[in-house]
């Protein structure tokens, strides 16, 4: 009697998650199209600006040569920021429609007939803002910056100007981009999970249900108790990663310019990080339960 094969069964356990994520990419092309378009448009605009780059560099050298690397690297930071912000916008609309949309078009009846659990489905949808979009934004950001760096190098060397300070600064800022994106993914996890929970519950207008209740509670607290604790908490959850994960200098306006400003131990020791991750897990579990019990609209 032949032995039962065990390896295929072990591999099959991961297939529902893999194909569920693939399904999200197939059905939501904006996940990768919008960041790609943003990167292409920015790179096109930057290439046009290089026609005046030598003149601007010579003018900066005449005023303050020490500020030239920071001035040259500013568009590189803008490119990465714009691509990441595009990913955030796509993620917000994706999360709000992820579970609401399949109830609205009644496709949930088909998807529930497949041997895929509600938790697997919710986790596959959560992986888009938590994994897919950040990785895509990072890859596109680095690729765009590399193209900009090569273009700048060709233009400046052709004009007899040096590029070593710019290369040194960009090599220093690349780890900052990796670190900054990672800490914001972890810090904003409860926000993405909250949007998915609202998407699994709302019968209409999920955006309003996601935004208005917290705002209404904040207004109620301000009128009734003359305090703004809830507003401060919401601001902390949105922007607190910068103060917890970086050592910001006074007057820097939140800008990070050196590797020494990274504070990973302080970030990992922040109670706000772990409270947020626990809340994210609770929201995702509630979204899976809601999907199991919620009927098509």
- Sequence ranges of the domains in the chain: 11-293
pTM for this entry:
0.88
CA distance 285 to 283: 5
Per-residue pLDDT of the chain (297 residues; tens, 9 = 90+): 444 444 444 445 568 888 889 999 999 999 999 999 999 999 999 999 888 887 777 776 666 666 666 777 788 889 999 999 999 999 999 999 999 999 998 888 888 888 889 999 999 999 999 999 999 999 999 999 999 989 888 887 877 666 777 788 888 888 989 999 999 999 999 999 999 999 999 998 999 999 999 999 999 999 998 889 999 999 999 988 988 998 877 666 667 777 888 889 999 999 999 999 999 999 999 999 999 888 787
3-state secondary structure the chain: CCCCCCHHHHHHCCHHHHHHHHHHHHHCCHHHHHHHHHHHHHHHHHHHHHHHHHHHHHHHHHHCHHHHHHHHHHHHHHHHHHHHHHHHHHHHHHHHHHCHHHHHCCCHHHHCCCCCCHHHHHHHHHHHHHHHHHHHHHHHHHHHHHHHHHHHHHHHHHCCCCCHHHHHHHHHHHHHHHHHHHHHHHHCHHHHHHHHHHHHHCCCCHHHHHHHHHHHHHHHHHHHHCCCHHHHHHHHHHHHHHHHHECCCCCCCCCCCCHHHECHHHHHCCHHHHHHHHHHHHHHHHHHHHHHHCCCC
């Amino acid at each position: 009697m032949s032995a039962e094969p065990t390896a295929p069964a072990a591999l099959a356990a991961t297939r529902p998650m893999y194909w569920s994520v693939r399904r999200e990419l197939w059905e939501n092309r904006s996940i990768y199209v919008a960041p790609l378009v943003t990167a292409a448009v920015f790179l096109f605009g930057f290439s046009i600006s290089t026609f005046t780059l030598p003149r601007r560099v010579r003018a900066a050298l005449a005023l303050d040569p020490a500020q030239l690397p920071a001035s040259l690297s500013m568009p590189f930071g803008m490119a990465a920021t714009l691509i990441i912000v595009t990913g955030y916008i796509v993620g917000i609309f994706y999360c709000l429609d992820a579970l609401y949309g399949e109830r609205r078009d009644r496709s949930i009846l088909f998807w529930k007939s497949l041997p895929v659990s509600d938790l697997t489905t919710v986790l596959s949808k959560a992986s888009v803002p938590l994994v897919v979009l950040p990785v895509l934004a990072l890859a596109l950001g680095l690729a765009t910056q590399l193209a900009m760096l090569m273009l700048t190098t060709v233009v400046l060397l052709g004009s007899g100007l040096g590029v070593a300070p710019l290369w040194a600064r960009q090599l220093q800022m690349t780890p900052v981009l990796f670190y900054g994106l990672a800490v914001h993914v972890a810090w904003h996890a409860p926000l993405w999970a909250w949007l998915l929970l609202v998407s699994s519950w709302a019968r209409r207008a999920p955006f309003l249900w996601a935004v208005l209740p917290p705002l209404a509670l904040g207004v109620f607290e301000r009128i009734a108790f003359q305090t703004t604790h809830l507003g401060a908490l919401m601001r902390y959850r949105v922007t607190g990663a910068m103060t917890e994960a970086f050592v910001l200098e006074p007057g820097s306006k939140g800008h990070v310019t050196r590797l020494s400003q990274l504070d990973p131990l302080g970030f990992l020791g922040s109670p706000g990080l772990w409270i947020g991750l626990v809340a994210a897990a609770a929201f995702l579990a509630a979204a899976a339960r809601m999907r199991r019990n919620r009927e098509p609209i």
